[in-house]
Amino acid sequence: MYPDWNPEFQHEIARVRHFAEASLSRRAEAGLDRQGWQACAGEKLLGLPLPASWDGASCSALETVALFEALGRGGADRGLLFALGAHLFGACVPMALYGGPDLASRQGRFSVAGSRIFALAITEPSGGSHISSMETTARLSGGGYVLRGEKRFVTNAPDADLFLVLASTSPERGTFGLTAFLVPKETPGLEVRPLASTLGLAGAPMGSVYFQSCELPAAAVLGKEGGGFAVLGTAMQWERTCILAGFLGAAERDLARCVARMRRSRGGHPAPADHQAVAHRLAGVKCGLEAARAVLYRGASALDLRRETLLWPSLVKRTLSETLTTCAQDMMRLYAGAGWADEDGAATAWRDTAATLSASGTNDVQLNLIASCLRPDPGA
Ligand SMILES: Cc1cc2nc3c(=O)[nH]c(=O)nc-3n(C[C@H](O)[C@H](O)[C@H](O)COP(=O)(O)OP(=O)(O)OC[C@H]3O[C@@H](n4cnc5c(N)ncnc54)[C@H](O)[C@@H]3O)c2cc1C
């Protein structure tokens, strides 16, 4: 199941892991780690899957997840990993696919260089699971549009220079009436209100974005009018497949630390791992992580081959978020009191990981999508 990487790419994986160990392995305090973001840009990580026109590296999805996993394995904070992923997979990839050369030179190159941050604004107060009944509207006016509405839980909102916003240009047409817009933060009428506190992911600040009669030029449309659902589809395929790769690497790192701790004896007592209950729980975490990796790599390969593009992103997102959350909780239980006290970051890891159960669409919605792809086997 593991890709048989050539020596050059193995070297690249090791290089990214060492970079994270040397430059990112410190717990980020609340707020986006701008220094870490810039350091990642310096290592050319912000352009991994992006084309040459964006100064990107044109990596496949499979290569991209392997390198993000290495970042997490090296110790990058999950908040930073999530913020980078929301920017790169939720916004940059669809912008590179649906935008032209002009967008590449106006925005793309700056984002790969680390000087522009993007956010994907989809979710609304009426419920993020109901895309077809989106209430944010963009009405034709003169040669452009007037955008009105509210988005919430937008990752990177407090730091974003540009928002990729989904709005309805023809409400009566449901998802076919959705259009994607690129809206700079300085647009008159746009207001960001940061979310004051969240359970986890303190390093990936989020907020609400309000559009009070924002006037947009026709050129603000990404793709074509009525093509917003396709733009969203690209964003979700990449985000659901790739955004948790770094979390998998981080969980492997946590497991290695947890094993070392459980094997240490204290005050003449047997080491915790000498109890079968403890050893089995550690083994269960290892099983979960290996199974999650197999699904991640399989899903990334499917994305590269453009195969089953509804099934695999949901399958990866649901499997990784559930498995990683269970593993983080199991490790917190192994640490017991020390876990509650957040020693070795065990409680932070669990809180950060639990956030992923609802991000990129809840896992109930992922199951809906997976179920819709199931077909009877005609040969059975
Ligand atoms: C860490 C994090 C990061 C996020 N980042 C972003 C971002 O960058 N941009 C953005 O736009 N949004 C973002 N979100 C929002 C996220 O996409 C939404 O939380 C999610 O889509 C669910 O929407 P909701 O919270 O409004 O819940 P609702 O849609 O109101 O759902 C409430 C409950 O009902 C269930 N439910 C609703 N409809 C169905 C259905 N059809 N079938 C089965 N169950 C259903 C849900 O599973 C859930 O349990 C983020 C969320 C989190 C937690």
Give residue 266's pLDDT.
85
Give the closest residue to 157 by CA, choosing from 101, 90, 96. Answer: 90
Confidence of residue 161 (pLDDT cuts 50, 70, 90): very high
Percent of the chain with pLDDT over 70: 99
**CB 244 less than 6 A from any atom of ligand 1:** no
Give residue 377's pLDDT.
84
Residue ID of nearest Cα to ligand 1 atom 25: 128
CA 73 to CA 81: how far, in whole Å? 11
Q: Which two tokens stand for residue 102?
A: 């002009």
- Contact between 163 and 183 under an 8 Å Cβ cutoff? The reply is yes
Give residue 378's pLDDT.
80
Q: How many CB atoms lie within 10 A of CB 249?
A: 28
Residues annotated as catalytic are 239
Residue ID of nearest Cα to ligand 1 atom 50: 359
CA 7 to CA 244: how far, in whole Å? 25
Give residue 207's pLDDT.
98
Which is higher by pLDDT, 160 or 380?
A: 160
User: What's the half-sphere exposure (Cβ side, CA atoms, 13 Å) at 75?
Assistant: 15
For residues 319-339, give the mean pLDDT: 98
Q: How many CB atoms lie within 10 A of CB 276?
A: 9
For residues 288-301, give the mean pLDDT: 98
Q: Answer positive or negative: Cα dihedral of 165, 170, 171, 173.
A: negative
pLDDT, tens only, 163-209: 999 999 999 999 999 999 999 999 999 999 999 889 999 999 999 99
Q: Which two tokens stand for residue 88?
A: 């790169």
State the closest ligand 1 atom to the C-alpha of 362, by its place in the atom list counted from 1.
47
State the closest ligand 1 atom to the C-alpha of 361, by its place in the atom list counted from 1.
21
Ligand 1 probe mutation, 117, 358, 366, most atoms within 8 A of CB: 358
Mean confidence (pLDDT) of the chain: 96
For residues 201-219, give the mean pLDDT: 97
**CB 365 less than 6 A from any atom of ligand 1:** yes
Q: Which residues have C-beta within 8 Å of that of residue 6, sequence separation ≥ 6?
A: none
State the closest ligand 1 atom to the C-alpha of 355, by its place in the atom list counted from 1.
1
Give the closest residue to 236 by CA, choosing from 60, 78, 93. Answer: 93
C-alpha 130 to ligand 1 mean position (Å): 9
Mode of pairing for the β-strands spanning 178-184 and 144-155: unpaired
C-alpha 123 to ligand 1 mean position (Å): 7
Give residue 79's pLDDT.
96
C-alpha 84 to ligand 1 mean position (Å): 20
Ligand 1 probe mutation, 130, 134, 153, 365, most atoms within 8 A of CB: 153
The CA–CA distances, whole Å, from 288 to 24, 39, 175, 347 equal 26, 31, 36, 19
CA 222 to CA 219: how far, in whole Å? 8
Mode of pairing for the β-strands spanning 221-222 and 178-184: antiparallel
C-alpha 198 to ligand 1 mean position (Å): 15
Q: 171 exposed, middle or buried (CB, 10 Å; 0-12, 13-18, 19+)?
A: middle
C-alpha 335 to ligand 1 mean position (Å): 31
For residues 57-81, give the mean pLDDT: 98
Q: Does 2 score more than 80 pLDDT?
A: no
For residues 13-40, give the mean pLDDT: 91
C-alpha 377 to ligand 1 mean position (Å): 32
Give residue 28's pLDDT.
60
**CB 154 less than 6 A from any atom of ligand 1:** yes
**CB 326 less than 6 A from any atom of ligand 1:** no
Whole-model pTM? 0.97
DSSP 23-43: HT-S---SS--HHHHHHHHHT
**CB 358 less than 6 A from any atom of ligand 1:** yes
Tokens 């916003």 correspond to 165
Give residue 191's pLDDT.
98
CA 146 to CA 183: how far, in whole Å? 11
Q: Answer positive or negative: Cα dihedral of 122, 127, 131, 136.
A: negative
Residue ID of nearest Cα to ligand 1 atom 52: 359
- Displacement of CA 158 from its chain's centroid (Å): 17
Percent of the chain with pLDDT over 90: 92
Give residue 162's pLDDT.
98
pLDDT, tens only, 247-286: 999 999 999 999 999 999 988 889 999 999 999 999 999 9
Residue ID of nearest Cα to ligand 1 atom 37: 129
**CB 364 less than 6 A from any atom of ligand 1:** yes
Give residue 27's pLDDT.
63
Give residue 97's pLDDT.
98
pLDDT, tens only, 100-143: 999 999 999 999 999 999 999 999 999 889 988 899 999 999 99
List beta partners, residue 271: none
State which amino acid sits at residue 27: R
For residues 35-42, give the mean pLDDT: 97
CA 83 to CA 157: how far, in whole Å? 10
List strand residue ranges (DSSP E) for the chain, in order: 118-121, 137-141, 144-155, 162-168, 178-184, 190-194, 206-216, 221-222
**CB 353 less than 6 A from any atom of ligand 1:** no
